[in-house]
Structure formats: C-alpha cells, structure tokens
Amino acid sequence: MNDLSAVFSALAAGIILQNVVLARAFFSEDPNRFSRTYRGTLRLGLITAAVAVLATVFAVALRQLFAQALLWAPARWAAYFCCVAVSFLLLRPLFARLLNGRHGVSDKGLLYAAFNGAVYGIVLLSMANYTSPLLAIVYALGCSIGLTAAQLLIHAGSERISLSAVPRPFAGLPILLIYIGILSLAIYGLVGHQLPT
C-alpha cells in the first residue's frame, strides 16, 4: 500500500508540481509554429512524453551501472543528455506516422519537441528527486502528462487571444508571455514557489 501511494504521489507530483516551471514556457517562442491544431499539439506532446520517459529509463539504467562516475556533475549532465539523444534516435522511426496529414508535425518540429529544455529538465529532475528507478520513471511520466496538458491549455489560450483586439505592441509573443505568467500565478496558489534544483 505504501509503495502504491508512493507511486501515485510521484505521478501526481510530476503532473502538477513541476509543470509550474517546465511547462509554462514551453513553446512560448512561437506556439503556433509547430502545431496549428489541438491534435497537432497533442502529437507534439506525445513525442515529448515518449522521448522524456524513454530517456529517463536509460538514465536510470546508467545510474545503476555507473553510479560513481555520475557523481561528477558535468559527466552526469552529458550522460543524461546522451540518454535523450539515444531515445530520440530510437523512437524517430515510430514518429514517422505522426509527421503526416493535416495534424502532422514537421521535421523541424520533431527536433524542437525532443531537444528542448523541458525534456532534458524532466530527465534531470526525475534523477535528482528520486533514487528509486520506478518512482523516477513514474515521475517522468507524470511530468510528461502535465506538460502535454499545459501545452493544450496554452494552445487554447493563444487561439482565444488571436480573436481578441490585442493592442499591436502586445500582439503575438508578448501577450502570450503575459498569459503564461498569469496562468503560472494561478497554479502557484496550489504548488507554491519551488525552483527545482
């Protein structure tokens, strides 16, 4: 029962807590650049989630095998990044189906979805917060789910904003940053201020 509650709390923590930081600004650069539909955003989220979870699995395995070597921070950072890279290369053939069609993701979108701070951050935080392999993977899964949900919310927000008479200086990225800021403020009321370290 204790193990089950530990798993559940790791999942909930991933979905809710860390996405205050990780998800808020993902795609803040230009959210409509890579997905103009909700399904497209969902596909991007799926890609991000798959890469993040598989990368965490590899990172967990690496930590089990090379615990001593990974005590040195730069080695740890490079090793975890390699896990992200390897998981992307392994999953890339499977993503080919998601690249086509009206809701498809472009090749560049694929690269942006995999090699961004959110995916790398999920791996780093999972490994930093949990020593148990199962909890680290569950936490990464939770972070990925929360990240996808946040991306959908941000996509909905940007769609709503595009219909508003936003003043010209604020049109586009500035108003989206303000939207993300107020949304973060709202979620802050639940989780508080935790700079993940």
- In order of 16, 54, 97, 131, 152, the CA distances from 127 in angstroms are 18, 13, 31, 7, 26
Instruction: Provide the minimum distance between the beta carbon of 57 and other proteins in the complex, in angstroms, as a whole number.
Output: 18
Q: Mask of contacts with other proteins, 34-63, x by CB under 8 A?
A: ------------------------------
Q: At what angle do helices 38-65 and 133-162 cross, to 10 degrees?
A: 160
81 binds other proteins (CB under 8 A): yes
Question: Would you call 121 helix, strand, or coil by DSSP?
Answer: helix
Binding mask 93-122 for other proteins (x = CB under 8 A): --------------xx--xx--xxx-xxx-
Smallest separation, CB 187 to other proteins (Å): 7
Give the Cα-Cα-Cα angle 92, 94, 95 (nearest 5 degrees): 65
- Residue type at 102 in one-letter notation: R
- Asked if residue 177 binds other proteins (CB under 8 A), the reply is yes
Choice between 6 and 91, CB closer to other proteins: 91
Find the binder of other proteins among 2, 93, 96, 193 (CB under 8 A): 193
How many residues touch other proteins under the rule CB under 8 A: the total is 70
> In this complex, which beta carbon is closest to other proteins, that of residue 61 or of residue 173?
173
Write the CA distances from 135 to 14, 83, 130, 195, integer angstroms. Answer: 10, 18, 6, 20
Q: Is the dihedral of CA 113, 114, 115, 120 positive or negative?
A: positive
Residues 151 to 170 in contact with other proteins, rule: CB under 8 A? 153, 156-157, 159-161, 164-170
Q: Catalog residues that contact other proteins under the rule CB under 8 A.
A: 20-21, 24-26, 28-29, 73-75, 77-78, 80-82, 84-85, 88-89, 92, 107-108, 111-112, 115-117, 119-121, 124-125, 128, 153, 156-157, 159-161, 164-170, 173-193, 195-197
